[in-house]
Amino acid sequence: MKNLSVLLTAFLLTMNLTAQINKINIIPKPQEIKVLDGNFIINSSTRILFDDKTEMIAKYFADEVEGLYELKLKFDKSSGKPVDNFIELRLAKLDYSSNKEAYHLNIAKDRILITANEPNGIFYGIQSLRQLLPVEKDLKNKKELTLPAVDIKDFPRFVHRGLNLDCCRHFMEKDFVKRYIDLLAYHKMNVLHWHLTEDQAWRIEIKKYPELTEIGAFRKYDDGTVYGGFYTQEEIKEVVEYAASRFITVIPEIELPGHSTAAIATYPHLSCTGGPFDVGTLWGIYKDIYCAGNEETFTFLEDVLSEVIELFPSTYIHIGGDEAPKDRWKECAKCQQRIKDEGLTDEHELQSYFITRMERFLNSKGRQIIGWDEILEGGLAPGATVQSWRGTKGAIEAAKMGHDVIVSPTSHCYFDYPIETTDVPKVYSFDPVPPELDAEEVKHVLGTEGNMWTEYAPQEEIDDRLFPRLLAFSEVAWTYPAEKDYEPFRLRMQQHYKRLDCLGVEYGLESKPFELIPTYNQFSRSFLIQVDILQKDLSVYVISKHKGPMMSNPLGVTRFNFGLTESDEIKFQFSKGGKVLAKSYIRNFSINKATGSKVVLTYPYSERFTGGGDNALTDGVRGTSNYRDGSWQGFGMTDFEAIVDLESVTDINKITVGFFTASSSLVVFPEYVEYFVSDDKENFKSVGKVSKEFSLRDPTWLSEDFSLELSNTSGRYVKMFAKNPLTVPDWHPAAGGKVWLMVDEIVIE
Ligand code: ACM
Ligand code: ZN
């Protein structure tokens, strides 16, 4: 009996604790949380107490509370300490951490006390406090805000917790960048890595070289469209100051020697060949880069960096260094002369010379450089910090050489990658400290960065890519591994969505949303499509283009089926906690004379792009808008030829084959497609050819039907031949590359 009562008491205590801890859903998770009895209530009489060093933070908090709840707090430095109902920001030495970002947040019934070694810590105490404020509906005009009593002791694992925003491939408005500064601060991140120069744009005004933004900030497409924008120095100062007020350091990235097409399009004499060049319109790696043998290159870059350091007080300046092909340097007399004069062995050492020279310049101005891991090749500049992106190898090598590192491998930290490859659990599982490092070497790991490259993400899609992945990432950067556990994090994230809603964040999915398993029935000529929902707590709505909404899963149900008796375009919409996500998926199903028919290929498909195997081209499931999604069948450097057996002589009114083009890749439409019919599989008669006008310089990814309308045509066998253009043309960044045809689906009507 006694045992039972002990058990029961323990159980009730646990339940109580769980219920209370569920009120505390702070992301990133603090190091230590003790839930206390009772509540503190903020009302219009609540005073904020601060001193000179924390006044800005007090105002910031008051503004946030007023903005969200229309509740004005009192703050008045001179009025002496009240006995209760106050929020005190107190700078004092913490006994458990000397970290400048550490804080102690204690919420009692009569007052809230945030103690920290430095204002940075006070600011993070305020962020935790903000994440404890109520988020139920009708926030406006709240008279009282109830906060749970709690004691939180917290400090970060890493000093460098960053996000790289590529504002070049797609431009982000100044206010959008400031909004991200707020979102980063809310999740206790402290670095904005601002990617400002690229092949496709130069986005920072340089007074000495005004043409950089007059010409280099805008790219022109074949159809006459111009895309661009830039930040004036005044706007940059505004952003940097705004970030500083949120304890975020802005580190500018000025790319060299590669990814510099916008600069050399403006000043072609800074290249090896003299150009001319256009500002890049395609994504990829451009071969024309700054000439390393030309002194004017260095004069130019030193002038540019001199203005850059006036705008950015950060210790670090990111100089890029990634993806700089050496093709032009190999053929350039000046570059080769430089190699001779400097006693270098090859073009990699020439790159090292280039980077080291820029480092020396920046060091002379009191700054340090960060470069991508390619700067290891040919010898690392003496004081450089390495940002490892091609896995963690670069970070390991650099740390073992005694250099500081930022660890941000594509595998876990690239949020431009689709959620299917880099989902929230995977991001959460990341540990920025490579296990290969010993205790001394680990000290060189400054931290990590998420990367938001924007080739395929215009500003309006950034939220979808970054959220909720950035929640997991903020915990990777802040919280120690011993405190990390995915499922409790996932539950906190579910609560956190309401806070993101308040902040207007259009978050996307946590993982691949579903697996579709279509079964085609030859006799009834219909599909039964099974939907297995892979993301927990996700509602999936099936909407037919022809029939409208068809069905959705009841709460908690993770598998359902729907049927199709005719070709249809199905939109899958998602909702979380009653809110429909901005992102939806479209899938096309085709029921036609070829569906389920046997296909014989003359040239085999690539093992890299099977499209799902031998039946992929007539499975009735059409390839999606992403040729890498597994639904497309790929043919590298071969033509495509297929024969479809319709099993009996059949009337044929239209033949279609779908192809893909993606100018930033090696995937290109065929030169033409020719169609043939036969009754006996021996004698084929050509019935027509189709080709498409398209602009390879258009960066969009495009799938198109190559369709041929027919009359009075019949046959049992239909053959299609698509001509592979084989080589990528000269003006393409991948010039000379081997062309892939991507095929899906064969449709015969
Ligand atoms: C990179 O993604 N090229 C650093
Ligand atoms: Zn050169």
Domain with CATH 2.60.40.10 in the chain: 513-589
Give distance in angstroms: CA of 372 to centre of ligand 2.
22
Buried b (16+ CB within 10 A) or exposed e, 76-95: eeeeeebeebbbbbebeebe
Kindly identify the ligand whose nearest atom is closest to the C-alpha of 451. 1
Give distance in angstroms: CA of 334 to centre of ligand 2.
5
Q: What is the mean pLDDT of residues 247-273?
A: 98
Which atom of ligand 1 approaches the CA of 414 most closely? Answer: 2
Q: What is the mean pLDDT of residues 441-465?
A: 97
Structure confidence by residue, pLDDT tens digits, 565-603: 999 999 999 998 788 999 999 999 999 999 999 999 999
Q: pLDDT class for 733, splitting at 50, 70, 90?
A: confident
Structure confidence by residue, pLDDT tens digits, 601-624: 999 999 999 999 998 999 999 999
CA dist 270 and 209 (Å) reads: 13
Domain with CATH 2.60.120.1190 in the chain: 591-749
pLDDT at 141: 77
pLDDT at 663: 80
Is the confidence at residue 12, as pLDDT, over 90?
A: no
Task: Give percent of the chain above pLDDT 70.
Answer: 96
Structure confidence by residue, pLDDT tens digits, 364-378: 999 999 999 999 999
- The mean predicted confidence, pLDDT, of the chain is 94
Give distance in angstroms: CA of 453 to centre of ligand 1.
8
Q: What is the mean pLDDT of residues 157-171?
A: 98
Is the confidence at residue 10, as pLDDT, over 60?
A: no
Structure confidence by residue, pLDDT tens digits, 665-722: 899 999 999 999 999 999 999 999 999 987 766 667 889 999 999 999 999 999 999 9
Of 281, 249, 242, 237, residue with least CA distance to 262: 281
Give distance in angstroms: CA of 349 to centre of ligand 1.
20
Is the confidence at residue 156, as pLDDT, over 90?
A: yes
Give distance in angstroms: CA of 121 to centre of ligand 1.
32
Is the confidence at residue 20, as pLDDT, over 70?
A: no
Q: What is the mean pLDDT of residues 497-505?
A: 94
Task: Supply the CATH classification number for the domain 19-154.
Answer: 3.30.379.10
Strands of the sheet with 701-709, listed across from one edge? 633-636, 740-748, 654-662, 701-709
Kindly identify the ligand whose nearest atom is closest to the C-alpha of 289. 2
Pocket of ligand 1 (CB under 6 A): 322-323, 372, 389
Residue 136 neighbours by CB distance under 10 Å = 7
pLDDT at 2: 45
User: For a substitution probing ligand 1, which of 372, 413, 415, 456 has the most ligand atoms within 8 Å of its CB?
Assistant: 372
Structure confidence by residue, pLDDT tens digits, 35-68: 999 999 999 999 999 999 999 999 999 999 999 9
Q: What is the mean pLDDT of residues 522-540?
A: 96
In the structure, ligand 2 is a single-atom ion and the residues with CB under 5 Å from it are 272, 291, 293, 332, 334-335
User: For a substitution probing ligand 1, which of 285, 318, 322 has the most ligand atoms within 8 Å of its CB?
Assistant: 322
pLDDT at 15: 47
The answer to whether 703 and 686 are in contact (CB under 8 A) is no
Domain with CATH 3.30.379.10 in the chain: 19-154
Which atom of ligand 1 approaches the CA of 320 most closely? Answer: 4
Give distance in angstroms: CA of 443 to centre of ligand 1.
24
Kindly identify the ligand whose nearest atom is closest to the C-alpha of 453. 1
Question: Which residue CA neighbors atom 2 of ligand 1 most closely?
Answer: 389
Which atom of ligand 1 approaches the CA of 410 most closely? Answer: 2
pLDDT at 648: 96
Q: pLDDT class for 19, splitting at 50, 70, 90?
A: very low
The two structure tokens encoding residue 457: 């993400």
Q: List Cα–Cα distances, 329 to 270, 295, 337, 350, in angstroms.
A: 12, 14, 10, 9
666 in the Ramachandran plot: left (φ > 0), alpha (ψ -120 to 50) or beta?
alpha
Q: pLDDT class for 7, splitting at 50, 70, 90?
A: low
Which atom of ligand 1 approaches the CA of 389 most closely? Answer: 4
**CATH number for domain 591-749, candidates 2.120.10.30, 2.60.120.1190, 2.60.120.10, 3.20.20.70:** 2.60.120.1190
Task: Supply the CATH classification number for the domain 513-589.
Answer: 2.60.40.10
Kindly identify the ligand whose nearest atom is closest to the C-alpha of 320. 1
Structure confidence by residue, pLDDT tens digits, 394-408: 999 999 999 999 999
Residue 680 DSSP code? S
The answer to whether 720 and 657 are in contact (CB under 8 A) is yes
CA dist 594 and 591 (Å) reads: 8
Question: By CB neighbour count within 10 A (0-12 exposed, 13-18 middle, 19+ buried), where does 23 fall?
Answer: middle
pLDDT at 82: 84
User: For a substitution probing ligand 1, which of 323, 374, 413, 416 has the most ligand atoms within 8 Å of its CB?
Assistant: 323
Question: Which residue CA neighbors atom 3 of ligand 1 most closely?
Answer: 322
Is the confidence at residue 16, as pLDDT, over 60?
A: no
Kindly identify the ligand whose nearest atom is closest to the C-alpha of 288. 2
